[in-house]
Amino acid sequence: MSQRESVGARRPDPESLLRRTARGDEAAFESLLSRFAPLVYGVALRVCEDQSLADEVAQEAFLDLWRTAARYESGKGSAQAWVVTIAHRRAVDRVRSEHSRVRRETQSRSLLPMIEFDEVVEAVEAESERVRLRGCLGGLSRIQRESINLAFFDGLTHAQISAKLQVPLGTAKARLREGLGKLKNCMGVGARA
């Protein structure tokens, strides 16, 4: 007997390994793994074109192989062809799944702009503050409200406010100070811990 024949005699054929795997023989399954791992990974990598996906697909293919070994029929093809078919189907499914996921994400981004949670919270809080501020401004006298608007929204100085409202400078300052004090109390500024 030649050396080649003696090596072949010690190594069980894939079909018998599949039959033993179907009966739950873990050693037979490990032999299938070591024999077909490079081939399965190669098929997965060729289809997926991504190493991490190919790793996952190869693991899933071998898990399928473990679960479905009893379905193998030697009359329909070789064990190697069956293993490659499992790996190829699993890889194609994964690529389709990834394409679908990317398409869904792209569509959802186009339909609804992605807003960070913090931005939404800030916008809600800012709107709440604006509503409170409008209510507080409504509680001021006309001259207090006008003084605050002229100072903070028009950027006028005390002297300019005095001239615009046709009141003495001290009165303009006092109305502005009183209005700001009322706003501060109404808004609860300084009362928070």
Task: Delimit the domains of the chain by residue range.
Answer: 11-111, 117-187
How high does pLDDT run on average in the chain? Answer: 85
Q: Which amino acid is at 55?
A: D
Q: Which residue has the higher pLDDT, 6 or 112?
A: 112
Cα distances (Å, whole numbers) of residue 186 to 122, 140, 182, 189: 21, 10, 6, 8
| Closest-CA residue to 39 (of 97, 86, 100) | 86
Asked if the domains 11-111 and 117-187 are classified in one and the same CATH topology, the answer is no
Find out if CATH 3.30.420.40 is the number for domain 117-187: no
Per-residue pLDDT, 192: 46
Per-residue pLDDT, 9: 55
Confidence of residue 116 (pLDDT cuts 50, 70, 90): low
Angle at 68 between CA 92 and CA 16, to 5 degrees: 115
Residue 131: partners with Cβ closer than 8 Å, 6 or more residues away: none
d(CA 137, CA 146): 10
Find out if CATH 1.10.1740.10 is the number for domain 11-111: yes
d(CA 179, CA 6): 102
Per-residue pLDDT, 146: 86
Confidence of residue 8 (pLDDT cuts 50, 70, 90): very low
Q: Which residue has the higher pLDDT, 28 or 156?
A: 28
Per-residue pLDDT, 112: 60
Per-residue pLDDT, 139: 85
Per-residue pLDDT, 171: 87
